[in-house]
């Protein structure tokens, strides 16, 4: 891979071109945003690895470099408190991110969760990468927090890892302890939506029981609502969203418009931009 090849997928961004080059561009190509500075030691380790991977992925994502010293307003807008901080933007929204310089294997695993490699991208190294398990991520982040307790972003990363591992109560505790600037971070908002959906299932009937109730009475909105949440959290996102649409189409005001609220919460938790876009249009057709 030549430097020229890598450079075609790496670019600098500031306040005046962020809207066009990152938010709008992410509607068609994922954009990885690297917040860095010249004086930052870990940035000098992470930056070259990200640029290398941008070249290897051959346009499957583009790397936007934000020098926080030159773009202080942009860094403030995203609540950047430590660097390096990396955020992945897809379909105009932040869908994931991390703070600190991760090892290359973990960077690859992070990208593979969100980015579909294009033809011509270098995938031969992928088979050697052992994905980090949720428990391994929790252990790594707990050690990092012990070493750098002032780095609040690591606590947000830990909350996200705890949720991925199924530890909802622990994730909520970490989320609640975040400082105000991180409480409104897009990843925190997403996690809060996931927790709200998970809490809705406390004491809820099983999936087969909910399916039976809906089959027996298609207007059992409470059962249909819980069925939608179960399907969504158990991996059948489209089927879950369909349940919320069914309520919205027949009883949009039920339980103070809960079906619309469920759909909006679900949209913030899903990584599938195509699916989200499709169901946003379906929701809009019912509302307007």
How many beta carbons lie within 10 A of that of residue 113, not counting itself?
Answer: 12
Confidence at 216, pLDDT banded by 50, 70, 90: very high
- Tell me the longest C-alpha to C-alpha distance in the chain: 65
**Lookup: tokens for 165:** 């591992």
Domain 3-117 sits in CATH 3.40.30.10: yes
User: Mean pLDDT, the chain, as a whole number?
Assistant: 85
Q: What is the pLDDT, as a whole number, of residue 64?
A: 94
- Looking at residue 92, the DSSP 8-state letter turns out to be T
pLDDT digits (tens, 9 = 90+) for 83-119: 889 999 988 888 888 888 887 888 888 888 888 765 4
Phi-psi region at 53: left, alpha or beta (left = phi > 0; alpha = psi -120 to 50): alpha
Is 40 marked active-site?
yes
pTM for the predicted model, two decimal places: 0.52
End-to-end CA distance of the chain: 50
Q: Give the Cα separation of 166 and 42 in Å (integer).
A: 31
Q: Give the Cα separation of 60 and 245 in Å (integer).
A: 32
Domain 207-287 sits in CATH 1.25.40: yes
Pairing of strands 85-90, 93-99: antiparallel
Higher pLDDT, 101 or 212: 212
Identified catalytic residue from 6, 10, 13, 43:
43
Q: What is the pLDDT, as a whole number, of residue 7?
A: 60
pLDDT digits (tens, 9 = 90+) for 181-207: 777 777 788 888 889 888 898 899 999
Whether residue 84 is preceded by a cis peptide bond, meaning omega within 30 degrees of 0, is: yes
How many beta carbons lie within 10 A of that of residue 211, not counting itself?
Answer: 16
pLDDT digits (tens, 9 = 90+) for 20-77: 999 999 999 999 999 999 988 888 888 998 998 998 888 899 999 999 999 998 888 8
Place of tokens 């105009």: 92
pLDDT digits (tens, 9 = 90+) for 242-263: 999 999 999 999 999 999 999 9
In 3D, which of 40, 65, 37 has the Cα closest to residue 51? 65
Burial (CB count <10 Å: 0-12, 13-18, 19+), residue 119:
exposed
Q: Could you state, in order of their start, the residue ranges of all structural domains in the chain? A: 3-117, 134-195, 207-287
Is 139 marked active-site?
no
- Looking at residue 128, the DSSP 8-state letter turns out to be G
Identified catalytic residue from 6, 32, 40, 156:
40
**Lookup: tokens for 40:** 């930052």
Two domains, one topology: 3-117 and 207-287:
no
- Residue 11's DSSP bridge partners are 64
How many beta carbons lie within 10 A of that of residue 111, not counting itself?
Answer: 22
Render the burial of 171-202: b for 16+ CB within 10 Å, e for the rest: bbebbeebeeebeebbbbebbbbbbebbebee
């Amino acid at each position: 891979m030549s430097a020229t090849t890598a450079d075609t997928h790496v670019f600098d961004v500031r306040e005046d071109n962020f809207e066009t080059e990152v938010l709008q561009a992410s509607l068609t190509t994922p954009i990885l945003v690297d917040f860095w500075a010249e004086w930052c030691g870990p940035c000098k380790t992470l930056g070259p690895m990200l640029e290398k991977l941008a070249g290897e992925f051959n346009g499957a994502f583009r790397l936007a470099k934000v020098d926080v010293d030159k773009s202080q307003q942009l860094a403030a807008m995203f609540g950047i408190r430590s660097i390096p901080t990396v955020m992945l933007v897809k379909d105009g929204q932040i869908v994931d991110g991390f703070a600190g310089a991760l090892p290359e294997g973990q960077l690859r695993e992070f990208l593979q969760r969100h980015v579909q490699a294009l033809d011509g991208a270098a995938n031969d190294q992928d088979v050697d990468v052992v994905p980090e398990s949720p428990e391994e991520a929790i252990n790594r982040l707990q050690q990092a927090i012990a070493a750098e307790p002032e780095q609040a972003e690591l606590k947000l990363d830990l909350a996200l890892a705890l949720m991925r591992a199924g530890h909802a109560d622990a994730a909520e505790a970490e989320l609640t302890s975040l400082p105000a600037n991180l409480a409104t971070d897009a990843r925190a908002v997403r996690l809060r939506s996931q927790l709200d959906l998970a809490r809705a299932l406390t004491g809820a009937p099983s999936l087969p029981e909910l399916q039976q109730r809906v089959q027996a009475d298609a207007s059992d909105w409470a059962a249909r609502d819980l069925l939608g949440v179960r399907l969504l959290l158990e991996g059948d996102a489209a089927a879950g969203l369909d349940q919320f649409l069914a309520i919205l189409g027949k009883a949009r005001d039920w339980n103070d418009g809960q079906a619309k609220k469920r759909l909006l919460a679900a949209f913030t938790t899903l990584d599938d931009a195509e699916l989200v876009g499709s169901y946003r249009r379906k929701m809009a057709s019912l509302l307007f």
